């Protein structure tokens, strides 16, 4: 109904000046990210959350769907058990890891060009990837960055949707 309400921007999140690529003419009502922010180290993630907070109007929301581990203090064992039980009930592959997921993507001819572009960009960035921060660290950083409220609104194992309100 509103084809001009969303715009997609190709930018390296967290890189110097990445928000300029957004070409904003007003504060954001919402920002959405899916499986992109868990790649960032703590300092880059905090800076990114701060940049997003300054771009948002009061009451604006950040919605992040990502894989965020429970961490040492979280119920990681319970989350894993619930995930396995749900996968068994739905008869789906419960333990697909990152490598096998990307291998399956590589076998789909429709995704060949996108996969080649991903590999090209990975080569430019290097292979070092920081350890994934747990959900509790993301929530803490969101609050430090200026979001009033932050918490998961949906969770299945380590996969969750976090909403933060400015």
Please state which of the ranges 1-10, 41-50, 61-70 shows the lowest mean pLDDT. Answer: 1-10
Q: Judge whether 6 lies within some domain.
A: no
What is the pLDDT confidence band of residue 121, given thresholds at 50, 70 and 90?
confident
Look at the pTM and tell me if it is higher than 0.75. Answer: yes
Query: Domain for residue 99, yes or no?
Result: no
pLDDT of residue 47: 96
pLDDT confidence of 10, banded at 50, 70, 90?
A: confident
Domain assignment present for 149: yes
| Average pLDDT of every residue of the chain | 84
Residues in the chain: 166
Q: Tell me, yes or no, whether 36 lies in a domain.
A: yes
Separation CA 93–CA 19 (nearest Å): 38
Start-to-end CA span in the chain (Å): 27
Q: Which residue has the tokens 């930018």?
A: 11
Q: Is the pLDDT of residue 7 over 80?
A: no
Q: Is residue 153 one of the residues assigned to a domain?
A: yes
| 55: in domain | yes
Supply the CATH number for residue 36's domain. Answer: 3.40.50.150
- Residue with the bigger pLDDT between 105 and 165: it is 165
- Does residue 82 lie within any of the structural domains? yes
CA distance 39 to 164: 19
Confidence at 120, pLDDT banded by 50, 70, 90: confident
**What is the rounded CA–CA span in Å between residue 125 and residue 119?**
10
CA torsion, points 39, 62, 152, 44, in degrees to nearest 10? 30
Percentage of the chain beyond pLDDT 70 is 84
Is 100 part of a structural domain of the chain? no
Look up the domain containing 22 and give its range.
18-93+128-165
Number of domains the chain is built from: 1
pLDDT at 90 over 60: yes
């Amino acid at each position: 109904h509103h084809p001009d309400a969303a715009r997609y921007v190709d930018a390296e999140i967290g890189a110097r000046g990445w928000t300029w690529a957004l070409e904003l003419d007003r504060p954001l009502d919402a920002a959405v990210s899916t499986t992109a922010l868990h790649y960032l180290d703590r300092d880059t993630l905090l800076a990114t959350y701060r940049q997003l907070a300054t771009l948002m109007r009061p009451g604006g929301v950040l919605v992040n769907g990502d894989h965020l581990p429970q961490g040492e203090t979280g119920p990681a064992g319970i989350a894993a058990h619930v995930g396995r039980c749900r996968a068994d009930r739905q008869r789906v592959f419960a333990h697909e890891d990152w490598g096998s997921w990307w291998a399956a993507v590589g076998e789909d001819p429709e995704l060949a060009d996108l996969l080649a572009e991903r590999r090209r960009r990975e080569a430019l960035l290097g292979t070092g990837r920081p350890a994934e921060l747990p959900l509790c660290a993301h929530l803490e950083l969101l609050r430090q960055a200026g979001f009033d409220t932050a918490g998961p609104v949906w969770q299945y194992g380590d996969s969750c949707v976090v909403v933060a309100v400015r």
